[in-house]
Amino acid sequence: MSAIYVSVVVVATAGLVYELVAAAAASYLLGDSITQFSTVIGAYLFAMGVGSFLSRYVRRGVAARFVEVEIAVGLVGGWTTTVLFVAFAQTPHFRVVLYGLVGVVGVLVGLEIPLLLRLLRGRLAFSELVAQVLSLDYAGALLASLLFPLLLVPRLGLIRTSLLVGLANVAVGLWSTWIFRRELATAGYLRGLAVAALVCLGGGALAAERITTWSEERLYADEIILARTSAYQRIVLTRWTDDLRLFLNGHLQFSSRDEYRYHEALVHPAVAAHAAPRRVLVLGGGDGLAVREIVKYPAVQSVTLVDLDPEMTRLFSHNPVLIAVNGGALRDPRVRVVNADAFVWLGQTREAFDVVIVDFPDPHNFSLGKLYSRSFYRLLRARLAPGGLVSVQATSPMFARRSFWCIVETLRSAGLAARPYHVYVPSFGEWGFVLAGLEPPAAPRAYPDGLRFLTTEATPALFVFPPDMAAVPVEVNRLDNQILVQYYGAEWQRIFPSL
Amino acid sequence: MLAAGGCRASVASSLEGEIVGAGHRLGHLLREPGRLPPPSGAERVAVAIVGGGVAGLSAAWQLARAGVRDLVVLELEDTPGGNARSSVSAVTGYPWGAHYLPLPGQAAHGVRTLLREVGVIEGVDRAGRPVYDERHLCHAPQERLFLLGRWHEGLFPAPGAGAEDRAQLERFRQEMDGYRRWRDGAGRRAFAVPRAAGAPGAFAELDRVSMADFLTARGYTSPRLRWWVEYGCRDDFGSDLAHTSAWAGVHYHAARDADPEYGDVVLTWPEGNGWLTRRLAEPVADRVRLGQLVVNVEPVAGGVAVDAYDARAERTRRIVAREVVLACPVFVAARLYRPWRERPPAFAAAFRYAPWLVANLHLDRAPTGAGGAPLAWDNVLYDSPALGYVVATHQSLRSHPGPTVLTYYRSYPGPDPAATRRALLDASWATLRDGVLRDLARPHPELAREVRRLDVMRYGHAMVRPEVGFVCGAARAAAAAALSGPVHLAHGDLSGFSLFEEAFEWGTRTAARICARLPRLT
């Protein structure tokens, strides 16, 4: 009889851990933990009720059904977290997957106790049976609620926790084939099933090191809600309360709290200064945030976004959290996404553009430095329609002053009239941009409604550089000297010596 | 040697590769001409060029520019280019030999004209200096050196150098500057590229000592400085300090000025100088015949007969040309030009050649391993008998590095090139592969597992060695003056060292001479 009591505790503990794991993963990925915990717990308990109700339809072979339920709950519950993490990155329907899984696991867990009670009916008096089983069930819940935050998550992480608990569930199923051997006609078949499930879950637990991102969790201050290694880069998305941050290869790309300052400043001075910005090209910027600003102009007829990484543009076209950030801009019918290397694409295209927005990562290395070279800007100039304008993100004139002015001078050396400006972005610091054109760019006429930062009145002040950011003598960045990468490395090294 | 990796067991089982270039096997048939079928036919052309290397293609290019279309270029290998041959794979073009060209100085106007025509030079600035298309200039970072377990920027072994090393380097540079600035009464340099533009006989006494003795006599004892100077000799001449004439050694350092705009950057392409030879061959593409072993050149009634064995057709065909350019190494010319075959000229023995090995390694991504300076175009190993490797995708404009090809070079300097040549030509692919991987295992311990494909090319006679007494000696002068038409000798050998500019100069100059001899053709 004590073997059965142990099983009850294990089953009860596992049942609550599945619920906690789903709720924790949901708040980890979607934020707003109050909502996630409430809805997941509610849905889970309701599904358990459905399971209990359904148990009445199990008429014969109760022991075999109990073992099957244990194996099923172990498999589905065990893989829940992994599936949730993968689904978050892969599908736009994360919540469907979340509540679907919570429902299935809840129904299966709801079946467990009624079936167990029926199996033990003959062995104990009814009042004692109910008292024993239910008290152990609630004790298991206490055990789960203590183990989960104190031991399981800190030591194993979410993915391995749920796989381990799944293993325990299946183990109970396997054990039951001996405990209830007299009630079972097909013990051999059930044992084979259980062993297969154990192998499946055990393999997952061993490979969890790869699935989980916990080595990276130490690198970032906030919780990682998405981490992908694409063919080109490591994409990491973190969240802390309402602040969503995107990192590419460990470099911060935006913080959802203040990115509007950056993207309004990057896009509007160029687009609003153009008399008829019909065809717009965006180089880099696969997050779609620059595109979000561009599609605010009714005059814009087409936006071509060229970003190397299809994973980036796919994520920012489909992931619900990321669509919330860019307003679904990449699905605007005027937008065409091209996944290609910007330098190579620019050399091959025959199209002409009225406005080009250049939003590449900072020149950390020689590969990126090419995208800031005179050769690159010459190619870019050749693609400008008459009156065409360019806007270039140009790192910080405060922290990387020579780098910033090197970009300005390189644009000028390519035959473009360049007007540098700067804005303050709290998560980045003082940030620089260059507005350039075949002819000296005019002042922006009128901005679209609803901007949170830029106004036409305040714009002229952005073009004024105080003495600590003023122009310094620099060389032109060419492919054969890549002087910008040297400036950049030296300047950021001074500020962050550990880099 | 610290060789640890690279042993057979650690090589990826999927590693494929082969020995490429059948030229030397076919070339050895020259030693047994009796085994070849007798010549048949008598095709008539105005000009036959024997050899499709830089000299031969330059001659053809120049003749085509002058309007001479009735010409044929006979090349032994399956691809033209000679020492500037190249291949192309799904990943990139990559070189099998020479892979860069220094910015040509004012004296090299022929090369400047070529570069202008093919778009490498875009125009001239206000001061009249050439403006280059940046894409052809070697991108940064250009060079790095593996020393003391790490990669360091630049080629001079500066890490661990003492004050004495640095002082000697500085003194050496100043001394070379002196040679560089020297001019004769007519304003000519002592050391010029092409050589023919220099003052004849200037500093000829340097040819009587080796570069090793030159350095020792002047107190250049720093092992680091001597390594650096020797590296230049091994790289450009295929010879070590002891077997390089000091005149050639000084020429290496004193013949070129840094460009005021671009510094001492070089021009390079994924396929190396194969890019240039392809441009040279373009105007005569339909006139280049490959796989042709020329076995005999002899004056006959009405012209000069050129007998070429076509290995694929297994036939020897005779071409009768009005003018013939022997655009092949002097040791080859001596075997196929009948008068020389019958009475070997005295100068022939003075031309001695360095064997080379070139390997091309296909990788899915840039090699991993030792830290320090990032992957550069030219990656040199300090403690290595080889010259290191260049990266074929270095000039790619892609911002994300993908699969690549590394071209590994090794010259075989030393006292007995003939013995090394035999050993090299006898070695199997597996032996050569293991040697390459063992050498590269020090900076890249994982390389043997990362390589997808490794092909090797063996050059028995890659380039003439500028040995003591040869560079300014009588034999070289005699060879250069030996033929004056209708058979001509045109090859970089005649300059005493193997440089693109020299071969180009001999080829184009010979073409001009032919045009003068055949005025009605042009």
* A-interface mutation test, from B103, B122, B399, B404, most A Cβ less than 10 A away: B399
Instruction: Provide the 8-state DSSP code for A28.
Output: H
Angstrom distance (rounded) from CA A70 to CA A169? 6
Phi and psi dihedrals of A234, rounded to 5? -100, 120
Phi-psi region of A32 (alpha: psi -120 to 50; beta: other; left: phi over 0): left
Residue A384's alpha-carbon distances to A84, A103, A439, in angstroms, are: 45, 56, 11
- Any CB–CB contact under 8 A between B260 and chain A? no
Chain A residue numbers with beta carbons less than 8 Å from the beta carbon of B134 are 373-375, 478-480
Task: Say yes or no: A202 and A233 in one domain.
Answer: no
CB A483 within 8 A of CB A406: yes
What pLDDT score was predicted for residue B500? 97
Chain A residue numbers with beta carbons less than 8 Å from the beta carbon of B137 are 478-480
Angstrom distance (rounded) from CA A116 to CA A123? 12
Fold annotation for B9-23+86-99+353-464: Polyamine Oxidase; Chain A, domain 2 (3.90.660)
Residue type, A265: A
Task: Kindly list the catalytic residues of A.
Answer: 359
Residues A414, A418, A420, A425: is their CA dihedral positive or negative?
negative
- Any CB–CB contact under 8 A between B265 and chain A? yes
The closest CB to that of A480, out of B138, B374, B400, belongs to B138
Q: In the beta sheet, which residues pair with residue B108?
A: none
What pLDDT score was predicted for residue A499? 41
Task: Say yes or no: A108 and A154 in one domain.
Answer: yes
What pLDDT score was predicted for residue A445? 80
Angstrom distance (rounded) from CA B102 to CA A439? 37
Instruction: Provide the 8-state DSSP code for B16.
Output: B
Indicate if the pLDDT at residue B3 is higher than 50.
no
| pLDDT lower than 50: segments of chain A | 214-219, 498-499
CATH number at residue A393: 3.40.50.150
The closest CB to that of B398, out of A343, A360, A373, belongs to A343
Structure tokens that stand for A472 in this block: 């310094």
CB A269 within 8 A of CB A276: no
User: What ipTM was estimated for this complex?
Assistant: 0.80
The closest CB to that of A370, out of B138, B262, B397, belongs to B397
Consecutive H or E run containing A303: strand A302-306
CB contact under 8 A, A480 and B399: no
Q: Which domain holds residue A261?
A: 256-495
Kindly report, residue by residue over B210-242, the tens digit of the pLDDT.
999 999 999 999 999 999 999 999 999 999 999
Peptide bond into A397 cis (omega under 30): no
Q: What's the burial of B185, exposed, middle or buried (CB within 10 Å: 0-12/13-18/19+)?
A: exposed
What pLDDT score was predicted for residue A180? 87
Task: Say yes or no: A194 and A230 in one domain.
Answer: no
Q: Crossing angle, helix B246-254 and helix B163-181, to 10 degrees?
A: 90
Taking all residues of chain B, what is their mean pLDDT, rounded to a whole number? 93
- Any CB–CB contact under 8 A between B364 and chain A? no
CATH number at residue A148: 1.20.1250
Task: Say yes or no: A249 and A300 in one domain.
Answer: no
Rg (CA), chain A: 29
- Any CB–CB contact under 8 A between B139 and chain A? yes
* A-interface mutation test, from B397, B398, B404, most A Cβ less than 10 A away: B397
Task: Say yes or no: A167 and A234 in one domain.
Answer: no
Chain A residue numbers with beta carbons less than 8 Å from the beta carbon of B265 are 480
Task: Say yes or no: A339 and A482 in one domain.
Answer: yes
Give the residue on B whose Cα is nearest the Cα of A480.
Answer: B139
The closest CB to that of B399, out of A368, A480, A481, belongs to A368
> CB under 8 Å to B432, separation ≥6 — which residues?
B19, B357, B359, B456, B458
What's the total number of domains in chain A? 3
The closest CB to that of B141, out of A366, A370, A375, belongs to A366
- Any CB–CB contact under 8 A between B173 and chain A? no
Residue among B199, B205, B238 nearest B466 (CA): B238
Q: How many CB pairs under 8 A join A and B?
A: 55
Consecutive H or E run containing B338: helix B338-342
Chain B residue numbers with beta carbons less than 8 Å from the beta carbon of A360 are 399
Kindly report, residue by residue over B166-198, the tens digit of the pLDDT.
999 999 999 999 999 999 999 999 999 999 999
Residue type, B193: V
Q: The tokens 């796919």 sit on which residue?
A: A314
Task: Say yes or no: A38 and A81 in one domain.
Answer: yes
Task: Say yes or no: A274 and A247 in one domain.
Answer: no
Angstrom distance (rounded) from CA B487 to CA B514? 10
**How far does chain A reach from its first CA to its final CA, in angstroms?**
62
Residue among A411, A431, A424, A413 nearest A356 (CA): A411
- Any CB–CB contact under 8 A between B397 and chain A? yes
Question: Coil, strand, or helix at residue A476?
Answer: coil
Question: Coil, strand, or helix at residue A423?
Answer: strand
pTM for this model (two decimals)? 0.78
- In chain B, what are the domain boundaries? 9-23+86-99+353-464, 32-78+290-351+467-521, 166-262
Q: What is the CATH number of domain B32-78+290-351+467-521?
A: 3.50.50.60
Task: Say yes or no: A241 and A282 in one domain.
Answer: no
Structure tokens that stand for A335 in this block: 């937008």
**Band of pLDDT at residue B520, cut at 50, 70 and 90:** low
Kindly report, residue by residue over A15-48, the tens digit of the pLDDT.
999 999 898 888 777 767 788 889 999 999 999 9
CB A249 within 8 A of CB A326: no
Which of the listed residues A188, A215, A242 is the one where a domain comes to its end? A215
Angstrom distance (rounded) from CA A135 to CA A144? 14
Q: The tokens 């350092």 sit on which residue?
A: B253
Distance from CA of A310 to the nearest CA of B (A): 13
Q: The tokens 């010409």 sit on which residue?
A: B71
Chain B residue numbers with beta carbons less than 8 Å from the beta carbon of A308 are 399-400
CB contact under 8 A, A481 and B140: yes
* B-interface mutation test, from A230, A362, A378, A481, most B Cβ less than 10 A away: A481
Kindly report, residue by residue over B380-418, the tens digit of the pLDDT.
999 999 999 999 999 999 888 789 999 999 999 989 999
- Looking only at the bridges linking them, the beta strands covering B292-300 and B303-310 are antiparallel
Task: Say yes or no: A198 and A294 in one domain.
Answer: no
Question: Coil, strand, or helix at residue B235?
Answer: helix
Chain A residue numbers with beta carbons less than 8 Å from the beta carbon of B141 are 366, 482
Structure tokens that stand for A184 in this block: 């079972």
In angstroms, how far apart are the furthest CA atoms of chain A? 94
Fold annotation for B166-262: Guanine Nucleotide Dissociation Inhibitor; domain 1 (1.10.405)
Kindly report, residue by residue over B85-115, the tens digit of the pLDDT.
999 999 999 999 999 999 999 999 999 999 9
What pLDDT score was predicted for residue A209? 59
Q: What's the burial of B40, exposed, middle or buried (CB within 10 Å: 0-12/13-18/19+)?
A: exposed
Distance from CA of A232 to the nearest CA of B (A): 7
Task: Say yes or no: A189 and A283 in one domain.
Answer: no
